[in-house]
Chain A
Amino acid sequence: MHISVLALQSGPCNTGYEQRMEELSRDLDSALQQQSADLVVFPELMTVPYKSVTVDDTYFASAESSDGPTYQWLAEKAKFYQTALVGTIFEKTVSREQLYFYNTALIVNKNGEKVGQYRKTHIPKISLPTMRTDETYYFQAGSELPVFDLGAFRLGILICYDRSFPEAARALALQGADVIVIPSASSGLDRSEMWLQECAARARENHVYVIGVNRGGIESILDTDGSEINLHYYGKTCAFHPLGTPLTQALDDQPHQSLRVELDISEVQKTRQQIGFLQTYRPDLYEQYAPASEAELHRQRVRQSPVPRETEPSGFVR
């Protein structure tokens, strides 16, 4: 079974919602008018700028529900082009009268129906000399790692930072994912090689196809003091075979490009039979070394700490 996947390396988001959707439409239309696809994947948070490098409460106003305007747009495009789409939003939802915000991917089939959604599960707060981000200010973490049946194949999704957690990709592979797509909004040119290595590793260790989709170009974010933060997205939209080898050369850092690959889904089973990491996998073994909870560690320390018999609990200084 062969499927055709189109990865759209969008540009930076330096505009409002309407113009942004026009941009994304142009990217999508120009690629699909030449040749159809079975699955199209957009980068992370495709409709909004990446504001986690600053603290901006107006950002929350750009959040939308999972059946909001972007879902409607995806549904129309899916029906028109008869292709499945993975689009991404800054999701807002209400539960028990409280608002929650997620970094979410929506999966729409070729009939325009929502197959499901994935909410980013690993939310970074990173402070490196070359890159600082605090997504925890804006997003709650999702609590599930679902897979989605799209007829000919089973799809798993990781969003950006999720890719750095082998356990997450493993959980998708163990549920039978054939393809893992990784929508991202990753900047910092010095990190682009690591991105490729991580995508390749997730493909090889799980014998799945991995498609990494990033933005390209420079995005300007207004900082709290009025200065500009320029995010240089490194692009490098890429595709890897279940053996971990690149299917084609990754894109460079230029915006508005696409990467098209043909995937032979039978290669997934074939690779698994040839190497079989998943058959040799020993979850019971690793379980023994899983870290104890913080509470358990503190409890153990307290239980093991020597206390002479005559010591009374005071809790007061006198």
Chain B
Amino acid sequence: MDRHEICELDISQAMALMKQHQLSPVELTQACLDRIGRLDGKIQAWITVLPEAALAAAREMETMLMRGGPIGPLFGIPFAAKDLFYTAGIRTTGGSQADADFVPHFDATVLIQLKKAGAILLGKTTTTEYAFLGGPPKTRNPWNLNHTPGGSSAGSAAALAASMALFSLGTQTAGSVLRPAAYNGLTGLKATYGRISRHGVIALSWSLDHTGLFAKSAADAALLLTVMAGYDSADPGSADVPVPDFQRALQRDVRGMTVGVPRSFFTDGLDDDLRQHFETALHVFRDLGVHVREVELPASFHDANAAHWLIMRAEAAAYHQDAYEKNPHLFGKSISEAIEIGLRLSSVDYLRAQRIRSIFQKEMNEQLQQVDAWITPSTPTSAPFGISKTGLPIFNTPFTNAGVPAISIPMGMDRGGLPTGLQIIAKAFQEETLFALGHAFQTSTDWHKRRPANL
């Protein structure tokens, strides 16, 4: 197996080879590091690469493997973390000049969980400034370097699409995981609000922030969520609910399930390729025995989007206020504008927005009770041209706003050779439904196995 093929393995393939002693953890980590060295000049997905630390961890794994020691569920799997996750002793910039030299003294809770499971951190990836909509990094889409990889989790998505790691971490406050997942031909997961800890993750907007992940398949995502989920008293938003083994959901029969397709908004003005991919995807589900029916948007849908807009800015302003007032010139244009707007919002506007959101969450959950899941395209277009803007999160924002879980899975390639994605949304804490449907779709299709050529 050559280095390139090693990097293209998914998690379960790599684990199987390592258990059979056909692949060593050092070989796997080195292959990813080599690929970063070869490709990152043009992709620019990484802010910090940690070759020594990653190889040291891999050597430790190798020793353990030779001794027949315990093997964690992510044993020797190299991954990337968005530069929003605290890493003890390692610079964590948030993609901002304002935190260019910030070195946390502890690891984010999810990093502790992943390392405990045997995963190896390769380094930190780019983000738009403080994970907001603007202030994009120079990261390019591996499928076409003239296009954005999306954002805010730009580097994590591009790094995985270019096979520089076997999975990666992102965050989503509007559409920062599902949108880049769709733009890069990846499986992206945003679990229920409170499902994964955000302790040690630089905040954008507390009541909206979600920790998320990028994987090569729904099966890998199920494994990762099983490791990453769980109550964390250090995160005030964390939910104290049982964590199932999400991999079991992969075996679930989807025959007889019902999915809802919103009658409006998510299909308005779609381009021809996306519309066709979406129609074809619905046929795939029908062939799997899934019932597809039209559903209505909650009455407060559009008001809730306006509420999200205000809440995100108010909370970002509250979080960054002190640093911003001390050093405004270190903050880029986009996040500065957001903070300025947030600082001028009234407390009553903020609270009214949160009340609207409570109504929307209730309505959204009621709608979701009538079916097993909703299905929409993940984005209105494939990755837009240019890298100065990161595309629209409008198809993802409502479900972030409602706090319900959503997954994006690849559903086609458009005429320009760019991937498109399908979004599945489930009831709160019903991620199993996402994995069951996503995995069934990926058993019938191979879009998730495509990787960019000519890199």
Contacts and interface: CB of A to CB of B under 8 A. Distances in A.
Interface of A: 54-55, 57, 96, 98, 125, 127, 132, 134, 136-137, 223-225, 294-295, 297-299, 301-303, 305, 307-308, 311-318
Interface string B365-396: 10000000000000000001111110000000
Contacts of B237: 316
A125 B357 contact: no
Contacts of A318: 239
Interface in B53-103: none
Nearest to B207: A315
A311 B358 CA distance: 7
Contacts of B231: none
B428 interface: yes
Contacts of B300: 305
A224 B44 CA distance: 13
20 contacts: A55-B145, A132-B385, A134-B385, A224-B140, A225-B454, A298-B310, A301-B302, A301-B303, A302-B303, A305-B307, A305-B352, A313-B354, A313-B357, A313-B358, A314-B358, A315-B207, A317-B239, A317-B361, A317-B402, A317-B404
Interface of B: 42, 138, 140, 144-146, 192-194, 207-208, 237, 239, 300, 302-303, 306-307, 309-311, 313, 329, 341, 344-345, 349, 351-359, 361, 365, 384-389, 402-404, 428, 454
A134 to B, nearest CB: 3
Contacts of B307: 302, 305
A25 B384 CA distance: 39
B156 to A, nearest CB: 20
Contact of A311 (B302, B306, B355): B355
Given A301-B303, A305-B356, A307-B356, A55 B310 contact: no
A221 to B, nearest CB: 11
B43 to A, nearest CB: 11
B207 A311 contact: no
A108 B310 CA distance: 47
A299 B346 CA distance: 10
Contacts of A311: 355, 358-359
B386 A305 contact: no
Contact of A55 (B140, B344, B357, B384): B140
Contact of B309 (A55, A125, A298): A298
Nearest to A125: B386
Given A55-B145, A311-B359, A299 B310 contact: yes
Contacts of A301: 302-303, 306
B385 A127 contact: yes
Contacts of B357: 313-315
A137 B355 contact: no
Nearest to B313: A295
B306 A223 contact: no
Given A136-B386, A305-B307, A305-B356, 17 more contacts: A125-B388, A127-B384, A132-B386, A134-B386, A137-B388, A224-B140, A224-B144, A224-B146, A225-B144, A295-B310, A302-B349, A302-B352, A302-B353, A307-B352, A307-B356, A315-B207, A317-B402
7 tightest A-B CB contacts, nearest first? A134-B386, A313-B354, A315-B207, A317-B403, A224-B145, A305-B303, A301-B306
B142 to A, nearest CB: 11
B426 to A, nearest CB: 12
Nearest to A97: B329
